[in-house]
């Protein structure tokens, strides 16, 4: 799924996309307007193309599915958030008997055109609607999806993937991807820190066209240092081994995804200034024939998810003691 840049970065920042709105929508009217923006974005060919052209992403999915024919041959498959339908086509390549491709955005008209042009109307059915509202004719053996946002959970689509499991997966069925790990590690980056503090310093002016702006310095500090930075960085700026937070898509509940904390205790590799915490994720396809990992690590090849960094907000830089103990919280 598409990434969402919530901040700039000195190195390889992602382009801004409209679904930042996804993170703040809660219910009722807000949900409706969030859906319009969110699914309007995915209805555009160019935004589906951006994901298809992430060859690490698309290639790893194809490999994971087609190298696990035991799990797909003659099976019924649900593709959650099918977009162009690419993962559904991979399931057919692996021998699936029937694939239901559920997609809420109007990209379905193009997905259906691909189904017709590739002569698979008998095996691949595109259903237009939200997964949460759709009724399938039968339960399924395998659920495939690409629901990952920045740091895995941004965009809240993992919850839809899990709802699909609860509603439609046969007992003993398979989630593909099957598990995931979120990684957090402290980083040092004086360049990023200086870039950010320079934005704050604008507000230190006491005579900006005759106006004293300086009262807003604390707010500007919280604002600029509170923006997560999406982009690639040099993994040598990481100062300790990452803390790992595993999530099992076969068992995790929707509630567990709505609010969770990742405690960490990090022992530094070397002394320096810690400017914040960096994060990324892997997903794993644990098939019967083979296991495949799709990583967005800074040590791996670049993907359209990049990585994310959170600068320390109040005390933006600390010299690193041997040990750093904190936590990161995610809340609905």
Q: Which residues are catalytic?
A: 54, 146, 155, 304
Instruction: Tally DSSP H helices, then E strands, for the chain.
Output: 10, 15
How far apart CA 40 and CA 142 sit, in angstroms, is 28
Q: Which of 51, 124, 142, 277 binds ligand SAH (CB under 6 A)?
A: 51
- Tell me how crowded residue 111 is: count the other CB atoms within 10 A of its CB: 25
Supply angle C-alpha 28, 34, 38, rounded to 5: 150
Site for ligand SAH in 72-131 (CB under 6 A): 81-84, 86-87, 102-105, 107, 130-131
- Examine residue 189 and tell whether it contacts ligand SAH (CB under 6 A): no
Kindly write out the interface string for residues 208-237 of this chain, putting x where it contacts ligand SAH by CB under 6 A and - elsewhere.
Answer: ------------------------------
- Examine residue 177 and tell whether it contacts ligand SAH (CB under 6 A): no
Closer CB to ligand SAH, 237 or 295, in the complex: 295
Phi (first) and psi of residue 272, to 5 degrees: 175, -170
- Smallest gap, in angstroms, from Cβ of residue 148 to ligand SAH? 9
Kindly write out the interface string for residues 256-295 of this chain, putting x where it contacts ligand SAH by CB under 6 A and - elsewhere.
Answer: ----------------------------------------
Kindly write out the interface string for residues 137-166 of this chain, putting x where it contacts ligand SAH by CB under 6 A and - elsewhere.
Answer: ---------x----------x--x------
Chain centroid to CA 325: how far?
A: 25
How far apart CA 186 and CA 275 sit, in angstroms, is 8
Select the residue whose beta carbon is closest to ligand SAH and give its number. Answer: 81
- Smallest gap, in angstroms, from Cβ of residue 168 to ligand SAH? 12
Contacts with 198 (C-beta within 8 Å, 6 or more apart), sequence order: none
Kindly state the tokens that stand for 322: 């041997």
Closest CA to 17 of 215, 150, 142: 150
- Smallest gap, in angstroms, from Cβ of residue 146 to ligand SAH? 4
Give the chain's length. 332
Which spans of this chain sit near ligand SAH (rule: CB under 6 A)?
A: 1, 39, 42, 51-52, 81-84, 86-87, 102-105, 107, 130-132, 146, 157, 160
């Amino acid at each position: 799924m598409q990434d969402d840049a919530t901040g700039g970065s000195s190195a390889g920042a992602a382009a801004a996309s409209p679904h930042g709105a996804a993170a703040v929508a809660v219910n009722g009217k807000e949900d409706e307007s969030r859906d319009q923006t969110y699914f309007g974005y995915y209805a555009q060919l160019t935004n589906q193309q951006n994901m298809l052209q992430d060859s690490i992403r698309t290639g790893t999915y194809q490999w994971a599915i087609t190298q696990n024919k035991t799990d797909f041959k003659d099976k019924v498959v649900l593709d959650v958030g099918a977009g162009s339908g690419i993962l559904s086509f991979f399931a057919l390549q692996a021998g699936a008997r029937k694939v239901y491709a559920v997609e809420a955005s109007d990209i379905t008209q193009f997905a259906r055109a691909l189904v017709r042009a590739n002569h698979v109307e008998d095996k691949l059915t595109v259903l237009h609607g939200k997964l949460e509202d759709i009724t399938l004719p039968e339960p399924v053996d395998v659920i495939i999806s690409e629901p990952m946002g920045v740091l895995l959970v941004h965009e809240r689509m993992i919850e839809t993937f899990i709802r699909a499991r609860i509603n439609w997966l046969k007992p003993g069925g398979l989630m593909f991807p099957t598990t995931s790990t979120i990684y957090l590690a402290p980083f040092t980056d004086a360049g990023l820190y200086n870039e950010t503090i320079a934005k704050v310093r604008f507000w230190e002016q006491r005579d900006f066209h005759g106006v004293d702006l300086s009262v807003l310095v604390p707010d500007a500090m919280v604002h600029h240092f509170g923006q997560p930075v999406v982009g690639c960085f040099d993994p040598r700026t990481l100062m300790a081994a990452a803390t790992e937070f595993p999530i099992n898509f076969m068992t995790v509940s929707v509630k567990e995804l709505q609010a969770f904390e990742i405690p960490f205790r990090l022992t530094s590799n070397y002394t320096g200034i810690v400017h914040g915490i960096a994060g990324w994720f892997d997903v794993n396809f644990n098939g019967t024939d083979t296991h495949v990992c799709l990583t967005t690590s800074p040590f791996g090849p670049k993907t359209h998810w990049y990585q994310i960094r959170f600068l320390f907000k109040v005390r933006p830089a600390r010299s690193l003691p041997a040990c750093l103990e904190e936590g990161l919280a995610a809340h609905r």
